[in-house]
């Protein structure tokens, strides 16, 4: 799938999250810098957590993050925003899964959700020793 084909313009009233809700949290004052802005790193970590939950559930194995690509910070996140992370499978390889991750916010002063950040995260399935392990497609046995 082309990442470009799935980009949303958050100013479009019909824009909506793609994929499944994997995480919802509240941006709090502790997540800000000295100027009161939410750290991009905090938002990135929430997206990684949501993507990791989705990847592990999808492949039914332990996964670790190996790459984050094409991150686009579109709009700021403010204290009090409800942050919702949506995820969708881009590709499943032999030992890896690539996940499209979108962060949307609901602001207390607005009724519609706003796309604030999106990106592509890659996770590798690992075994109990931490070595990459093959992903078994649904319906097949090892």
Determine, yes or no, domain membership for 68: yes
Determine, yes or no, domain membership for 133: no
Owning domain of residue 71: 16-126
Determine, yes or no, domain membership for 45: yes
For the chain, how many structural domains are there in total?
1
Question: For residue range 18-66, what is the model confidence (pLDDT) as tens digits?
Answer: 999 999 999 999 999 888 889 999 999 999 999 999 999 999 999 999 9
Residue 142 reports pLDDT greater than 60: no
Determine, yes or no, domain membership for 135: no
CATH code at position 72? 3.10.129.10
Pairing of strands 114-126, 82-92: unpaired
In this predicted structure, which of 10-24, 59-73, 105-119 has the lowest mean pLDDT?
Answer: 10-24
Residue 8 reports pLDDT greater than 50: no
Residue 13 reports pLDDT greater than 80: no
More confident residue, 98 or 36: 98
Q: In this structure, what token pair is assigned to residue 136?
A: 């078994």
| Number of alpha helices (DSSP H) and beta strands (DSSP E) in the chain | 1, 5
């Amino acid at each position: 799938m082309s990442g470009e084909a799935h980009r949303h313009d958050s100013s479009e009233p019909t824009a909506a999250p793609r994929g499944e809700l994997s995480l919802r949290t509240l941006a709090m004052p502790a997540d800000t810098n000295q100027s009161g802005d939410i750290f991009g790193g905090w938002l990135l970590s929430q997206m990684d957590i949501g993507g990791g939950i989705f990847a592990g559930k999808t492949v039914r194995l332990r996964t670790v993050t190996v790459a984050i690509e094409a991150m686009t910070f579109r709009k700021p996140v403010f204290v009090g925003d409800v942050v919702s992370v949506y995820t969708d499978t881009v590709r499943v390889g032999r030992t890896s899964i690539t996940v499209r991750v979108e962060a949307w916010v609901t602001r207390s002063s607005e009724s519609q959700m706003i796309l604030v950040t999106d990106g592509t995260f890659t996770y590798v399935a690992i075994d109990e020793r931490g070595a990459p392990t093959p992903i078994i497609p649904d319906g097949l046995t090892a």
